Amino acid sequence: MSTITIDPQRVEDFEQQLVETINHGALCLMISIGHRTGLFDTLAETGPVDATALAEHAGLDERYVLEWLGAMTAGRIVEHDPETGAYDLLAEHAQLITRHADQNLAVYAQYIPVFGANEDDILTCFREGGGLGYEHFPRFHEIMEEESAQAVIPALHPRILPLVPGLTDRLERGIRAVDVGCGRGRALNELASWYPNSSFTGYDLSEEAVRYARETAAARGLDNVAFHAVDAARLAEVEEPGAAQLITTFDAVHDQADPDAVTRAIRRTVADDGVYLAQDIDAAGNHGDDIDHPLGPFVFTASCLHCMTVSLAAGGAGYGAMWGRERAQTLFARAGFEDVEVHTFDDDPTAVFYVCRPQR
Ligand SMILES: C[S@@+](CC[C@H](N)C(=O)[O-])C[C@H]1O[C@@H](n2cnc3c(N)ncnc32)[C@H](O)[C@@H]1O
């Protein structure tokens, strides 16, 4: 009979790890609230203030603001001076948690309550299989748009478009570009405004996201971009073969119900001298190698509670966000892309770009 020896130090270390995890999980909820209420922005604008003044400036209930400040202070996000009663958001922190920030990490904290809200229904999926469709995620497109605005848009010119030599020249001269799974159209509207000689079409399953994208395009006076609520697996019904010189997907393949149908349809639509540029989450695709993924716990959670489940809800493949490079490359090759280049950037270890060409 084997006996298990318990290492008390390991127990203590794990207890510490769990306590920190629970604290950080709770803080994510409060960071999301701080973002949505504008409390971080208000605090950055006012400088050191007491709870009463902060609540007044933000137009919020003081009692709730005070309790939120308690969590922010205990979480070392906001500084508190017990002498004066003032709360302060350090400039260094404001750079990462306000709407003025280049990378506002509070945007990502919003996913935690959005995913957590479905816990009861996800429990049913754990027991019975199946999935939860997009209708279970009412704020998803809104958050995704905020993410796209800071993660994709600023990288388009300096990094993403140059992955395809000559692409910006072709866009300047005028080509047809299609974005599949365009969400609220943030990237496509931006591209349309930069390249007036080119024409752009965005497709997404979501009527709500497409309506928003159209309204934004109209408000910006863009007449070279159109958005349609279409299932990308049925792209062949709305696009002629070879009709686009550029097709993009930004984080829109791994959560497909039928990734093969979508990538085959993309291959059919892209011109022989064109290119398909796909951004996805970088991962090895196996738990052993992904243990050191910088956002591993977050992405696996997001995948289980969103990306994988929306695909399974439609009877789909359920690849999940951590599907990995190998499966992605195999998928693109199976769709008929003869040449698939893989690109990453050292300072963004979570994103991978596939440049897929019909011919070598
Ligand atoms: C993770 S979001 C990315 C959205 C957008 N590309 C961005 O970066 O903000 C994936 C998008 O793919 C869309 N989508 C999923 N399956 C689709 C399908 N079969 N046809 C069209 N759009 C689809 C979803 O509605 C969602 O907007």
Q: Is residue 29 part of a domain?
A: yes
How far apart are the CA of 281 and the centre of ligand 1, in A? 14
Query: Is residue 30 assigned to a domain?
Result: yes
Residues 246 and 325 in one domain: yes
Q: 82 C-alpha vs ligand 1 centroid, how far in Å? A: 48
Q: Are residues 256 and 326 in the same domain?
A: yes
Spatial contact of 277 and 248, defined as CB atoms under 8 Å apart: yes
Cβ 227 vs Cβ 214: under 8 Å: yes
Tokens coding 175: 């080509």
Residues 306 and 181 in one domain: yes
* Strands (DSSP E) found in the chain: 79-81, 86-88, 176-180, 199-204, 225-229, 244-250, 270-281, 339-345, 348-357
Work out which ligand 1 atom sits closest to the CA atom of 183. 27
Q: Which of 321, 189, 314 is nearest to 252 (CA)?
A: 321
Q: What is the mean pLDDT of each run of 10 residues along the chain (360 residues)?
A: 89 98 98 98 98 98 98 98 98 97 96 97 98 96 96 96 98 98 98 98 97 98 98 96 98 97 98 97 96 95 98 96 97 97 92 95
Distance 210 CA to ligand 1 centre (A): 10
What pLDDT does residue 321 have?
97
> Using an 8 Å Cβ cutoff, are 229 and 259 in contact?
no
Q: Quick check: is 239 in a domain? A: yes
Between CA 87 and CA 46 the distance in angstroms is: 10
DSSP 69-129: HHHHHHTTSSEEETTTTEEE--HHHHHHHSTTSSS-THHHHTHHHHHHTTHHHHHHHHHH-
180 Cα–ligand 1 center, Å: 7
For residue 37, what are the domain limits? 8-101
Global pTM reads 0.95
Residue 109 falls within a domain, yes or no?
Answer: no
CA 209–ligand 1 middle distance (angstroms):
9
Question: Are both 84 and 123 inside the same structural domain?
Answer: no
Q: Is residue 111 part of a domain?
A: no
| H or E stretch covering 23 | helix 8-37
Same domain, 159 and 63: no
In a domain, 107, yes or no: no
Last residue of a domain, one of 101, 130, 152: 101
Mutate to test the pocket of ligand 1, among 150, 189, 255, 323 (most ligand atoms within 8 A of CB): 255
pLDDT of 349 reads 84
Residue 338 lies in a domain: yes
What pLDDT score does 1 carry?
62
- Could you tell me if the CB of 265 is within 6 A of ligand 1? no
Quick one: 97 and 124 in the same domain? no
Q: Give burial (CB, 10 Å; 0-12/13-18/19+) of 336.
A: middle
**Ligand 1 atom at shortest distance from the alpha carbon of 209:** 27
Q: Is 256 in the pocket of ligand 1 (CB under 6 A)?
A: yes
CATH number (domain holding residue 172): 3.40.50.150
Cα→Cα distances 295→21, 77, 272, 287, 289, Å: 14, 20, 37, 13, 13
Same domain for 43 and 135, yes or no, is no
